[in-house]
Amino acid sequence: MVQPSSKGIGTHGRRKPFISHSTFALDTPLFHRCCPLAFGRSTQPCMQRTAQQQPNSIISEIIVNYCPAIPVEDRQQIRTSADANALFRKLYTTEIIEYEEQFYILYLSRSNDVIGYHLHSIGGASGTVVDVKQVLAIAVKANACSIILSHNHPSGNLRPSEADRSLTRKIVQGGSALDVSVLDHLILTKHAYYSFADEGIMPSTTTTY
């Protein structure tokens, strides 16, 4: 069961660093926030620009820098829920999938090529917390046209809870305002998966694969 959170962190889950190599490694548009913090492969561009060189030393400059690790022609394309399931299973380990709940997101281009993935949150045996705003903020920063949601049920029960359905509706509604489509929401167990799209329970405003 996934639970939306207005604060992004709750008692049942903790969030990984915003964007890093380990959690967004398939093909990552890197987001740099210069002075005082930087994220990405190198902080050298930030170190070269001092506060004295900025127009106003008390205002931080935000720089968006795209550094894709995988060429467009080599990116994996998602055409069906089975494709998404196969890719998500490379992210979940068999030891974890029945131990704790995790929430992953795939970020896709307009042609459904995978830009990258993000481990959004890690929870306990019965739930994890999801920050809808951050899910969509990363989509905007990655210039993604669509996303696919996924979380596992350690219990082995594939049926979505009401909290799962409610969260999906909220992300779909928020994405609609940003022109980011939510193609599907997958629930994974060790040997099977449940697709909201295949079962026809995605909100009506959602596009398909």
Cβ atoms 175, 147 nearer than 8 A: yes
Cβ atoms 43, 59 nearer than 8 A: no
Fold of 2-19+75-195: Cytidine Deaminase; domain 2 (3.40.140)
Q: Which residue has the higher pLDDT, 57 or 127?
A: 127
pLDDT at position 161 over 90: yes
**What's the pLDDT band for 207 if we cut at 50, 70, 90?**
confident
Mean of the pLDDT values across residues 169-189? 97
Q: What's the confidence (pLDDT) of residue 56? A: 61
Mean of the pLDDT values across residues 105-134? 94
3: helix, coil or strand?
A: strand
Structural domain spans, the chain: 2-19+75-195, 29-66
* E-assigned strand segments in 36-133: 62-66, 102-108, 114-122, 128-130
pLDDT at position 192 over 70: yes
Give the torsion sign (CA, 156, 161, 164, 168): positive
**What's the pLDDT band for 204 if we cut at 50, 70, 90?**
confident
pLDDT at position 46 over 80: no
Cα–Cα dist 65/133, whole Å: 21
The 10s digit of each residue's pLDDT in 25-35 is 344 443 333 33
pLDDT at position 194 over 90: yes
**What's the pLDDT band for 90 if we cut at 50, 70, 90?**
very high
The 10s digit of each residue's pLDDT in 113-122 is 999 999 999 9
Tokens of 8: 């992004």
The 10s digit of each residue's pLDDT in 52-68 is 555 567 888 777 666 77
Paired residues of 108 in beta bridges: 114, 146
